[in-house]
């Protein structure tokens, strides 16, 4: 599977680190929405969907979590534990998130407002859609 991890430039000095996110620059789409997950309980697994059109980039700003990715052919586990790394989640990629550290803050940038009709929440439907 061709997963895309974007290396985000870290501006660091003796004071600490800074990462800037800019649409059409290091984020390859126009950012229309940002949301973040935090305080995720131990043993929680969430996500369980793919999107029809939505482009997203996920950045673990603090802590770590894992992504289970499924493009219909291959499955892959990805550890995100670096605030200078963005995982691209293109449309048509089934994703689940798990193994959240208690301090995990998972920031997601998206190219559209929240729209429930863009979700494919059934794995059966996801698989069926790919074979069309």
Can you give the binding site for ligand TYD, defined by CB under 6 A? 33, 35, 46-47, 49, 114
> Which of the residues 11, 49, 51, 113 is marked catalytic?
49
**Residue 49 annotated to the active site:** yes
Distance from C-alpha of 28 to C-alpha of 54, rounded to nearest angstrom: 13
Please identify, using beta-carbon distances, which residue of 75 and 114 lies nearer to ligand TYD.
114
In whole angstroms, how close is the CB of 28 to ligand TYD at the nearest point? 20
In whole angstroms, how close is the CB of 9 to ligand TYD at the nearest point? 27
Q: Strands 16-19 and 75-80: what pairing?
A: unpaired
In whole angstroms, how close is the CB of 47 to ligand TYD at the nearest point? 5
Q: Which residue's C-beta sits nearest to ligand TYD?
A: 46
Rg (C-alpha) for the chain, rounded Å, is 15
CB 41 within 8 A of CB 49: no
Q: Which residues are catalytic?
A: 49
């Amino acid at each position: 599977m061709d997963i895309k991890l974007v290396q985000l430039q870290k501006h660091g000095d003796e004071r600490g680190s800074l990462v800037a996110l800019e649409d059409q620059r290091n984020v390859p789409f126009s950012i229309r929405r940002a949301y973040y997950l935090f305080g995720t309980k131990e043993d929680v697994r969430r996500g369980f969907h793919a999107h029809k059109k939505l482009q997203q980039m996920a950045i673990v700003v603090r802590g770590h979590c894992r992504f289970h990715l499924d493009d219909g052919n291959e499955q892959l586990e990805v550890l995100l534990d670096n605030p200078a790394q963005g995982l691209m989640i293109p449309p048509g990629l089934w994703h689940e998130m798990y193994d959240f550290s208690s301090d995990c803050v998972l920031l997601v940038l998206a190219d559209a407002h929240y729209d429930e009709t863009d979700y494919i929440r059934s794995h059966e439907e996801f698989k069926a859609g790919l074979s069309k």
